[in-house]
Chain A
Amino acid sequence: QSVLTQPPSASGTPGQRVTISCSGGSSNIGSNTVTWYQQFPGTAPKLLMYNYNQRPSGVPDRFSGSKSGTSASLAISGLQSQDEADYYCAAWDDSLSAVIFGGGTKLTVL
């Protein structure tokens, strides 16, 4: 069971806005930065968002991140079929002295 909690699935139609939540605690999201990763089947994960809301070069501005207290969110606007993938949040946990990943959210574009 992950210390960071994500919904196992999310879905939307092309053009919609979808939000994926990542719920943690004071020892992880509450006190450390959050990163998000995108993974397509059979490929390595790719950094999608760092420092809560910073996009690496090449990531469309349709993707945005935010944090409130001990939770973080990834929002995808103008949903496209190529956004269909698994999404993971991650953060350092001060209590565990370890990096923790959320369980992942499978995004389906209907």
Chain B
Amino acid sequence: EVQLVESGGGLVKPGGSLRLSCAASGLTFSSYSMNWVRQAPGKGLEWVSSISGNRDYTYYAPSVRGRFTISRDDAGNSLSLHLNSLRAEDTALYYCATDGYIYGDGAFDIWGQGTMVTVSS
């Protein structure tokens, strides 16, 4: 069974940093693009970042570009998101999701349960 488990969320002060992780199991992790998607409390989904399977490409939402960095450790089957210069508006539940594991590029077909990031003084 394919499983994604996020961790690393918590309470951080504005301007602070955090590192989120997503542990993958049950799939050939290195073969697939991966994504981070977030959801602020009571709000809709917002795509944050993606990284290609060969790490050649990374993409970021304009709202986080220059502050967040996505990376992956294929040997360790894990995805990371480094969050810097955090703002109150970054408060959200952060999900990791596979891209095209079963259903082709652009289909976020496997999701984790999310890890909560709260930015507050």
Contact = CB atoms under 8 A, between A and B. Distances in A.
Interface of A: 2, 32-33, 35, 37, 39, 44-47, 50-51, 54, 56, 86, 88, 90-92, 96-104
A92 B37 CA distance: 14
Interface of B: 35, 37, 44-47, 50, 59-62, 95, 102-104, 106-109, 111-114
B61 A50 contact: no
Contacts, number: 68
A51 B45 contact: no
Contacts of B47: 90, 98-101
A98 B60 contact: yes
B112 A56 contact: no
B113 A99 contact: no
Contact of B46 (A44, A47, A51, A101): A101
B113 A51 contact: no
**Top 8 A-B pairs ranked by shortest CB distance?**
A99-B47, A50-B107, A104-B44, A44-B111, A101-B45, A50-B103, A47-B109, A103-B44
Contact of A35 (B61, B62, B102, B107): B107
A100 B35 CA distance: 12
